[in-house]
Chain A
Amino acid sequence: MYKLTDTDTIIRISDKASIPNDPANTDYAAYLKWLEEGNKALPADKPIPPTYQELRVREYPPIEDYLDGIVKADDLQVQKYIDECLAVKLKYPKGK
């Protein structure tokens, strides 16, 4: 028995071995033979959606921009950084 993943690797249920998509790999060859025999692999686990923190982290502007604005006493640059952060927070609100 096998289970698909969200990549092209598969999981062998019996020992949770992770098998790459390589026909020369004897485990993968066994999987292909198993399919030829009419079997069907279990679907992949539904991907766990990223948390709002993970989504925000990926899109926040670089902190260096904020620090650079402070050092230069450039209020516009500091405000721009803050505005961009708030926009990301608004895009990915807490609890979602």
Chain B
Amino acid sequence: MASSIESTSTTTTLKNNGNTYVSVDTNDDVTITNDLAVSGTLNTTGAVVHNEVGAAVDFRVEGDTDPHLIFADASVDRVAIGGSDTSLFNGAGTNAKLAVIGSSNDGNVLQNGSAAIVIVNTDVSDENTAGLHFARADTDDTPNYAGASIVAQFKETQATGQYPSATMNFLTSTTQNAAPTVKVTIAENGNLGIGTIAPSDKLQVAGGITATSFNGGQLAGMRNRIINGDMRIDQRNAAAAVTITTGNEWSVDRFNGVTSVSSKYSLQQTTTAPVGFVNSIKALSLSAYTVGTSEQNFIRHHVEGLNMGDLNWGTSGAKTVTLSFQVRSSLTGTFGGSIFNYNGSRSYPFSYSIGSADTWTTISLTITGDTTGTWLATNGVGMTIAFTLGTGSGLSGTAGAWMAGYNSSASSTVSILGTSGATLYITGVQLEVGSVATPFEHRSYGTELASCQRYFQTWGGNSNNERIGNGFNYLTTQSRVDMVLPVTMRTAPTLNIPNVSHWAVEYGAGAIACTSIGLDQASTKIAAVNFNVSSGLTVGQGNHLNAHGTTAARLNLSAEL
């Protein structure tokens, strides 16, 4: 059969071997049934619609070497440039309408060949831009407003053959119906500005910063409200163990033991410490003791009110704090503690878990500030932090919530005292504003010691005849000395001399051992001390107050909370 042209009242068809391959209907629309090859230019003056019937018929444009330079994947309604697989993403991006697909092993970031998009502004004016905008249609579909944009701004008139210098700007719309504005800028020199379009440093932020760390360390000085949280300072005991008998014995500075029963545990500064620390405080159970319902035993730390007034506890503006510490125990399980105010009318029991025995564990507890109750901002007790060693159910409460009344522990927690020889080590105690536990704030030894000396000072112990002050003989049996304190103390201090005979009044003719020593008067800055001897002083003469041939001499001043 040869080719033929047939015409009816409605259709004209061109047939070949009896098969129709071109037909023209009454609307003059032409239908080509088989492939159409055009070797010349195909010019159209009307719209070109591919796959108007909505079938899964793909469309592609081949390049010189790329068979899918442009590819419309009708079956998934996506378009690819440079490939045919429009579902290259897993997860986010899976349903993207456009995929630009490249394949290159070129590691040159600047060249960035193959898999890339270039947005070109053909205008050469300075300060012009090129960008990407992210918009949504509004209810009438026009115009479509952008809510965010990424825009490069070219800084000078384009010169032929040169890279344009540019800034990169990230814009967002702050509120509804507000045009996007620049929030983040990368300047030409690489400076990053957040909240500023002209950053003068590598990073300039116009506004607050929330971060967990700078350089792996602390964010700023004196964040930690805990004094001696790393247990370095032990003025009283020089790392000797202290058996807690009355509940008023101190171990390391600022940490003492509270107990309802005598001699059930000891506290001691040790060198057992996690990486990054030198010391810890060790609680050692001295027997297997079952704690009574109304008994309590804990390591206590007082925070002075003057050091926490800014937390605004007891008001609607109460700040959230985070308590963090390193802990290790011979036991495992859920351990307890509490934070409470000066009179115990408000408390926040907390619990923490130790999963592996004799292994340091980092604990972080974020505590919403208490909006009620009375929290002192004076030189009295601001808050007390308790680390439970064994507390009865009558003094324990639900963990993780503020409550009225006094609870020194969370309920149903491990009792160290229940096991003879059980241990609990703690160090790195930090209390800071915010909901993030930052690395422990390591302060200089001198700074930490001075902070401790606000509450306790010990004199003597450095040499056999250590001088601690100059005075004059008020009586033949009494020398008076004004001891100027190296650190202003919290209150006028209590004077305690473990052994008065360790001290002597030294004058021109020799030294006379003291028989008693007491305060004449005291302030936060000066302790006026009377050193009494049996006889032999010349009234009006000056003298030194010395250790009497022993490094065991101690003169203690306490203004503890």
**Chain B contacts of A24 at CB under 8 A?**
379-380, 490-491
B490, B491, B518, B539: the one within 8 Å of A11 (CB): B518
Give the number of residues in B that approach A within 8 Å (Cβ atoms).
28
Q: Tell me if B359 counts as interface (CB < 8 A to partner A).
A: no
Shortest CB distance A18–B (Å): 4
- Distance in angstroms between the alpha carbons of A16 and B517 in the assembled complex: 9
B491, B494, B561: the one within 8 Å of A18 (CB): B494
- 1/0 per position for A11-44, CB-CB distance to B under 8 A? 1100111111110111110000000000000000
B476, B494, B496, B521: the one within 8 Å of A25 (CB): B494
A7, A8, A20, A21: the one within 8 Å of B493 (CB): A20
- Distance in angstroms between the alpha carbons of A19 and B560 in the assembled complex: 12
Closest to B520 in A: A7
Closest to B522 in A: A20
Closest to B558 in A: A27
Closest to A21 in B: B492
Contacts A24-B491, A48-B477, A51-B476; is A16 near B497 (CB within 8 Å)?
Answer: yes
Tell which of A52-60, A66-74, A80-88 binds the partner.
A52-60
**Chain B contacts of A95 at CB under 8 A?**
none
**Chain A contacts of B558 at CB under 8 A?**
27
- Distance in angstroms between the alpha carbons of A78 and B157 in the assembled complex: 106
Q: Tell me if A79 counts as interface (CB < 8 A to partner B).
A: no
**Chain A contacts of B559 at CB under 8 A?**
25
A58 touches B539 (CB 8 A): yes
Q: Tell me if A5 counts as interface (CB < 8 A to partner B).
A: yes
B561 touches A26 (CB 8 A): yes
Shortest CB distance A34–B (Å): 14
B475 touches A25 (CB 8 A): no
Shortest CB distance A27–B (Å): 4
Beta-carbon contacts under 8 Å, B451-490 to A: 475-477, 490
- Distance in angstroms between the alpha carbons of A18 and B531 in the assembled complex: 12
**Chain A contacts of B380 at CB under 8 A?**
24
**Chain B contacts of A11 at CB under 8 A?**
518
Contacts A15-B496, A16-B497, A51-B476; is A9 near B518 (CB within 8 Å)?
Answer: yes
Contacts A16-B497, A50-B475, A57-B539; is A25 near B520 (CB within 8 Å)?
Answer: no
**Chain B contacts of A22 at CB under 8 A?**
491-492, 522
B491 touches A9 (CB 8 A): no
Give the number of residues in A that approach B within 8 Å (Cβ atoms).
26
Most buried by B among A11, A12, A20: A20
- Distance in angstroms between the alpha carbons of A5 and B517 in the assembled complex: 12
Closest to A30 in B: B248
Shortest CB distance B543–A (Å): 16
B475 touches A9 (CB 8 A): no
Shortest CB distance A29–B (Å): 9
- Distance in angstroms between the alpha carbons of A77 and B496 in the assembled complex: 51
**Chain A contacts of B521 at CB under 8 A?**
7-9, 20
- 1/0 per position for B541-561, CB-CB distance to A under 8 A? 000000000000000001111
- 1/0 per position for B124-151, CB-CB distance to A under 8 A? 0000000000000000000000000000
Closest to A25 in B: B491
Closest to B540 in A: A57
Q: Tell me if B24 counts as interface (CB < 8 A to partner A).
A: no
Closest to B489 in A: A25
A54 touches B539 (CB 8 A): yes
A17 touches B496 (CB 8 A): yes
B379 touches A18 (CB 8 A): no
A9 touches B520 (CB 8 A): yes
B492 touches A20 (CB 8 A): yes
Contacts A7-B520, A9-B522; is A27 near B494 (CB within 8 Å)?
Answer: yes
Contacts A27-B494, A27-B558; is A20 near B519 (CB within 8 Å)?
Answer: yes
Q: Tell me if B261 counts as interface (CB < 8 A to partner A).
A: no
**Chain B contacts of A20 at CB under 8 A?**
491-494, 519, 521-522
B518 touches A54 (CB 8 A): no
B496 touches A18 (CB 8 A): yes
Beta-carbon contacts under 8 Å, B353-387 to A: 379-380
B475 touches A18 (CB 8 A): no
List the 5 closest A-B pairs by CB distance, nearest first: A20-B492, A22-B492, A18-B519, A18-B495, A20-B522
Known A16-B500, A48-B475; further 16 A-B contacts with Cβ < 8 A: A7-B519, A7-B521, A9-B518, A11-B518, A12-B494, A18-B518, A19-B495, A20-B493, A20-B519, A22-B491, A22-B492, A27-B558, A48-B477, A50-B475, A51-B476, A58-B539
- B residues in contact (CB < 8 Å) with A: 379-380, 475-477, 490-497, 500, 516-522, 538-540, 558-561
Listed by A's residue number, 19 A-B pairs whose Cβ atoms lie within 8 Å are A7-B519, A7-B520, A7-B521, A12-B494, A16-B496, A18-B494, A18-B495, A19-B519, A20-B492, A22-B492, A24-B379, A25-B492, A25-B494, A27-B494, A28-B494, A50-B475, A51-B476, A53-B539, A54-B476
